[in-house]
Structure 1
Amino acid sequence: MFKTEQESQVTVTVKGKEAAGDISHTFPKNKVHQIPVYGLYGDYHNIVILRLENGEEKVIEIRTEPLAGKVKLPTKIETTAGYLKDNVVFVTPTSFAYDAAYDYKGDCRWYTTLNFVFDLKRISNGNILVGSYRLVAPPYHTTGVIEMSLIGKIYKEYRLPGGYHHDQLEMEDGNFIILTQNLQRGTVEDMAVLVDRKTGAILKEWDYQKVLPLTAGKSGSWTEHDWFHNNAVWYDKKTHSLTLSGRHQDIIINLDYESGELNWIIGDPEGWPEDFVKKYFFTPVGDREFDWQYEQHACMMLPDGDVFVFDNGHYRGKSPEKYLLAKDNFSRGVRYRINTTDRTIQQVWQYGKERGSEFFSPYISNVEYYAEGHYMVHSGGIVHYDGVASDKLASQYDTNDPLVVLNSITVELKDDEVVYEMHLPANYYRAEKMPLYSEQETLVLGKGCQLGSLGVTEEFLTDIPGVEDTGLLIPEKYNPKFALEEDRLALKASFEKGQVVMLVLENDQEKHQYYIPTTKKPFTAMCVGTFLQEDSSRVVEYYVSKEGLKGSFAISLIIEDKKYQSGITVEF
């Protein structure tokens, strides 16, 4: 931060370990300069040059600490500085690793130590939009999305009553579409909402339960709780529609933006009602080889109307007798051409099948389209056990076991030639290629803000009969921890599976009771495992929104038939 007497542009350059590794950016004319420095190396004597447009220079030396242990370094990278230019590849983790960005040499040039999750996208003002690091419900549903600069300055947190998961996008008018759910109805990952950029208010919602049968077309990972598992959203301006990926029904669906009505479905029709198949599904045509996608991720509509998606291929069948083992399976990026008039579909391009189980990811992953013939295919969830590809996810293994090997393979292809390939020894949800600096970014200091709402936490209105008020403090064996955050009360404690537990907030005038589930829902798609505790079978997290509460409340817990005091009073 510095001032100049005359308005001047400032060019910042972080010197690379070789000339091709230099990272530079020129900031607009100003007298007051706040220059974010991106692209430092870890555990390195970095040279940073600030240059005014009159030629005056200042050299700054910055010695950095070693990279954090959760920053994973590539085990393989093949590309050239000329190809990647000033871009780096960002990855967001699902196993125990940090969000990070890597240059053409595989050097880490940026990372964050907060647990930001799911997709990281740059928006029109140069900032990034990424999932919050605050849980709203286990195992990975967070309070909302964070708008921040890469320097770590958080501007806004957009909060949702149902929390956030998997994906978000910025519309042309600046508003956001964010994936969410209604947690109180007992299902997850089956809604999307339009959020006002300025206020955080929900302007519109799409509820997939209104257009899809919950029990049709079950994938191998289907559960009643997580029946659809929406992991991607895409807006297509030409057709004014939303395209969504439903992993647990093996389908890509398209909804009319205004009405929310169903337009079409891509997927294996086995297990679907006949009237749905006739009205919404496609029939494969053409001479080219064709495979349906299974438990897919990251669907998008291309400029010509084709559909591009990462086909995980998990189980690669609709019934157990047809399931393929991981060692015999494949994952790929695939491009489909659809005709919505005659309901036909052709497979026009794919990459990954030829690599077999080496490239197989039973979960997560994404594709990117840059231009005709220029794609990224990111297989981010590769797990091998004792040298053999596994159908299990990273979170289902003890990753300290030397027989467990995690991998993430990110490939770029130009006219079917591999021009970039990076392997990382962890699992990463998505990969995104972009420069560290954006022409639109302006660092603005000051207090950030929370927008939107966590809603009013649902209360348990019936008293548990026969409860003994012990007058004692909560026993240490439950290891209770309470935290009063800006907008909610957080509890973390250890309980036995199935124990009846209630959180009670009370004063002389009123009492509020909240039922705390201690039996976890079965998650067959642990897309983000970074929030898991070491003793995750017993650790319970629960949150009470401040909304609807006002005054001082004593905190107590009812555990089975006994009431214990926390000794804590909170002010809302």
Structure 2
Amino acid sequence: MKIKQTLSSVLVASMLIGGMATTSFAMGGASGANVNYHKQGELGETVVNPYGIAPLTAIIKNGGYVLKDVSVEIVPKKGGQKIAYTVSKRNLLTHGGIPIFGLYPDYLNEVKVKYTRISTRTKEEVTKEETYRIYTAPVYSEVAGINMQKNTLFTKAEIKKLDPKFKDRLYFLNNIVEKSGVGTKVVWNNPMGGALEWNYYPRNFIIDTTGEVRWYMQPNKIYDLESIYQAGVMMGFKQNEDGRLSFGYGQRYAKYDILGHKSFNRRLPANYNDFSHSLDDADNGNFFIRAASANLKRADGKHVRTVRDVIVEVDPQGNVLDEWRLFDILDPYRDDVLISLDQGAVCLNIDASMAGKTMSAEELAALDTNDQFGDILGSGPGRNWAHVNSVDYDPEDDSIIISSRHQSAMIKIGRDKKVKWILGAAKGWKGDLAKAVLQPVDSKGNKIDCGERGEKCPGYVNEKGGFDFTWTQHTAFKIDEKSKGDILYLGAFDNGDGRGMEQPALPSMKYSRMVIYKIDQKNMTVEQIWEWGKERGNSLFSPVTSITEYQPDKDSVFGYFATAGTQFDFTTGAFLSEPSPTLVEFEWGKTEPSVEIQLFDTTGYQAFPFSVEKALSK
């Protein structure tokens, strides 16, 4: 026994000496103040995925020092894109060290850091340059268990065009996994209607301009596909001025930084339900949420949950400041657009077996007789009559601009709940709403006769015409940097279904486009000044989702044809593939893209250029 104890003592002593000689490992028990983690450099431990939702991020802890003048470089793979940034004091203090963003998945990343550390005891300042090697796990995503889902990661990206001016771009993609049996079990019944059954697992990620995934969200810590109050479709992502991401899903709206540090994650205020599509961040810190009424008593006495037709303004603490009840402001029974829509694609409720079919006025009227309510195409509160898919606050006149897919109209509404203007075809608008419809004009100010349904618009009738309205559009965003006073520039994504309030002779005749309008709010006129997408025809037709948005940092226009390339079997009503979205970015005024990236086998919602400088350097 004595011999064995002596050998054990020698072994322990030798391990301790080895541990003292090699500071990269220090393991022990309750032996007083002691480093008890793997250490690479002269700072503290490296923590990968520090908040549990961003696996391609890390923090190199400060090791007890005060840090300043910190810069980071993620060394690229051969031929890859370098990500480099400085780190603000705010981020150093918030994360207790150096935040690392842009790691490659399933890879031993090389990360160069430069910093000045200040000793808390002597106040001595020492500047260091170190290299850390950080391994990350492979990308993981839940699957729907369906035959058309072929991609086990996120997507494959093909870089078709890249102007050197844009080679430093990072693109945030807000996509979804197709419906699964796990997430299709919930239906609201009290009161009737609602949209919670619209439930898809998130697929959010950032790619660089070589097509590599450099960040993705692993949402399970904040998301549960089987829970009423933790599920839904994650949508409305925006990078706020403070660099953080705001978004919503189901019955929640939230804000996090890119490492996963939470600002808030809240239930919708009690009077509202069913967030989707849009969460606009205003300059004063307020948010404008596209939701619906949790309980509306209709004129006929029926109680319903409404569908995508209420805008709610909340302050940073979550208090409700105001609401825009669109069923009171607009005409929820205007069905001129509704009866022209393709029933195969009502936003993400895509049904190939209904492709090309429309609903008659008689069928719409029968919904009231049958008491059918919910996320169904139909007129009147309690049905999907408006389908608002974007909200943009305009501080110049304290108004909101909305995009209503099922009215094929973009509408500006004041704080007094009065409609200021409507950009859309004239048919069906009545009274004061009819007076608010903008008059199309050409570049010289001459009026354009588009006809009541927009069927005479030169841009609709002629391939190279100069004006057309938007049809089932997504996004209506004011371009603040170009607008001044009564002159307002507006960008939109024209999905193109029901163009001219009719279905074309052949589905292959449909197209989508990006478009920019110049609106004279005093004279109530609108001029189309730029468009792109029509020349690509049906190849980029995106029946639902998508975005057009101006980017001030490069004076450019970004677009995402998010559901282009979807293939159907019109005989069986089955999907043959997921979409193959196309991402483009244009210099202002140019007619050919500076960036074109095609993705494969992923259903897109929206996307935008992501700024690592805004996220970590400010």
Give the TM-score taking structure 1 as reference length: 0.68
Query: 1:6 and 1:333 mapped to 2: Cα distance?
Result: 49
Aligned to 2:517: 336
SS at match of 1:418: coil
Aligned to 2:329: 211
Query: 1:19 and 1:56 mapped to 2: Cα distance?
Result: 28
**Is 1:422 aligned with 2:530?**
no
SS at match of 1:317: helix
Report the more deviating stretch, 215-224 or 361-370: 215-224
Listed as ranges, the matches of 1:428-507 within 5 Å are 428-438=604-614
Aligned to 1:523: none
Answer whether contact 2:539 2:565 (CA < 8 A) is retained: no
Aligned to 1:301: 478
Task: Check 1:85–1:382 CA distance in 2 against 1; reply closer, same or farther (3 A cut).
Answer: closer
Listed as ranges, the matches of 1:265-304 within 5 Å are 265-273=422-430, 275-276=431-432, 278-286=434-442, 289-302=466-479, 303-304=482-483
Aligned to 1:23: 83
Aligned to 1:250: 408
Aligned to 1:368: 549
Listed as ranges, the matches of 1:345-424 within 5 Å are 345-371=526-552, 374-385=556-567, 403-414=576-587, 415-424=590-599
**Is 1:93 aligned with 2:276?**
no
The structural deviation recorded for 1:174 is 1.0
Task: Check 1:4–1:85 CA distance in 2 against 1; reply closer, same or farther (3 A cut).
Answer: farther
The structural deviation recorded for 1:422 is 1.3
The aligned amino acid for 2:564 is I
Q: How many residues align?
A: 419
Query: 1:81 and 1:107 mapped to 2: Cα distance?
Result: 17
Answer whether contact 1:71 1:98 (CA < 8 A) is retained: no
Answer whether contact 2:70 2:114 (CA < 8 A) is retained: yes
SS at match of 2:535: helix
Answer whether contact 1:81 1:104 (CA < 8 A) is retained: no
Gaps of 5+ in 1: 133-141, 443-572
Aligned to 1:466: none
The structural deviation recorded for 1:441 is 6.7
The structural deviation recorded for 1:324 is 5.5
Aligned to 2:352: none
The aligned amino acid for 1:427 is T
SS at match of 1:271: coil
Larger Rg: 2
**Is 1:155 aligned with 2:263?**
yes
Task: Check 1:251–1:41 CA distance in 2 against 1; reply closer, same or farther (3 A cut).
Answer: same
Task: Check 1:324–1:208 CA distance in 2 against 1; reply closer, same or farther (3 A cut).
Answer: farther
Query: 2:236 and 2:264 mapped to 1: Cα distance?
Result: 17
Counterpart of 1:189 (choices 282, 300, 308) is: 308
| Cα offsets for 1:522-572 (capped at 9, x unmatched) | xxxxxxxxxxxxxxxxxxxxxxxxxxxxxxxxxxxxxxxxxxxxxxxxxxx
| Cα offsets for 1:58-81 (capped at 9, x unmatched) | 322122222225542334113448
Task: Check 1:345–1:10 CA distance in 2 against 1; reply closer, same or farther (3 A cut).
Answer: closer
Query: 2:546 and 2:537 mapped to 1: Cα distance?
Result: 16
Aligned to 1:46: 109
| Cα offsets for 1:345-381 (capped at 9, x unmatched) | 2221100011100111111000111259721121101
Answer whether contact 1:196 1:203 (CA < 8 A) is retained: yes
The aligned amino acid for 2:604 is Y
Give the TM-score taking structure 2 as reference length: 0.63
SS at match of 1:354: helix
Counterpart of 1:76 (choices 158, 162, 179) is: 158
Query: 1:143 and 1:441 mapped to 2: Cα distance?
Result: 32
| Cα offsets for 1:372-421 (capped at 9, x unmatched) | 972112110124326x9x8x9xxx9755xxx3241111111112231111
> In proportion to residue count, which structure has more strand?
1
SS at match of 2:496: coil
Listed as ranges, the matches of 1:546-557 within 5 Å are none
| Cα offsets for 1:5-25 (capped at 9, x unmatched) | 564322222111147622122
| Cα offsets for 1:141-166 (capped at 9, x unmatched) | x1221111111222311321323211
Task: Check 1:5–1:112 CA distance in 2 against 1; reply closer, same or farther (3 A cut).
Answer: closer
Aligned to 2:419: 262
Aligned to 1:117: 234
Aligned to 1:540: none
| Cα offsets for 1:492-544 (capped at 9, x unmatched) | xxxxxxxxxxxxxxxxxxxxxxxxxxxxxxxxxxxxxxxxxxxxxxxxxxxxx
The aligned amino acid for 2:558 is M
The structural deviation recorded for 1:268 is 1.4
SS at match of 2:251: strand
Listed as ranges, the matches of 1:141-180 within 5 Å are 142-160=250-268, 161=270, 162-163=272-273, 164-180=275-291
The structural deviation recorded for 1:121 is 1.0
Answer whether contact 2:73 2:111 (CA < 8 A) is retained: yes
SS at match of 2:100: coil
| Cα offsets for 1:308-356 (capped at 9, x unmatched) | 110001121324xx54643111101111222334433222110001110
Query: 2:176 and 2:563 mapped to 1: Cα distance?
Result: 8
Counterpart of 1:327 (choices 496, 503, 508) is: 508
Answer whether contact 2:88 2:617 (CA < 8 A) is retained: no
SS at match of 1:336: strand
Listed as ranges, the matches of 1:126-141 within 5 Å are 126-132=243-249
Task: Check 1:397–1:42 CA distance in 2 against 1; reply closer, same or farther (3 A cut).
Answer: farther
**Is 1:236 aligned with 2:376?**
no
The aligned amino acid for 1:249 is Q
Query: 1:89 and 1:379 mapped to 2: Cα distance?
Result: 14
The structural deviation recorded for 1:227 is 0.6
The structural deviation recorded for 1:440 is 5.9
Aligned to 2:131: 59
Query: 2:111 and 2:547 mapped to 1: Cα distance?
Result: 34
SS at match of 1:24: strand
Answer whether contact 1:15 1:48 (CA < 8 A) is retained: yes
**Is 1:314 aligned with 2:497?**
yes
Task: Check 1:81–1:279 CA distance in 2 against 1; reply closer, same or farther (3 A cut).
Answer: closer
The aligned amino acid for 1:419 is S
The aligned amino acid for 1:336 is Y
Answer whether contact 1:39 1:436 (CA < 8 A) is retained: no
Task: Check 1:28–1:247 CA distance in 2 against 1; reply closer, same or farther (3 A cut).
Answer: closer
Answer whether contact 2:426 2:434 (CA < 8 A) is retained: no
SS at match of 1:169: strand
Aligned to 1:563: none
Query: 1:182 and 1:50 mapped to 2: Cα distance?
Result: 50
> In proportion to residue count, which structure has more helix?
2
Aligned to 1:562: none
**Is 1:36 aligned with 2:99?**
yes
Query: 2:435 and 2:159 mapped to 1: Cα distance?
Result: 46
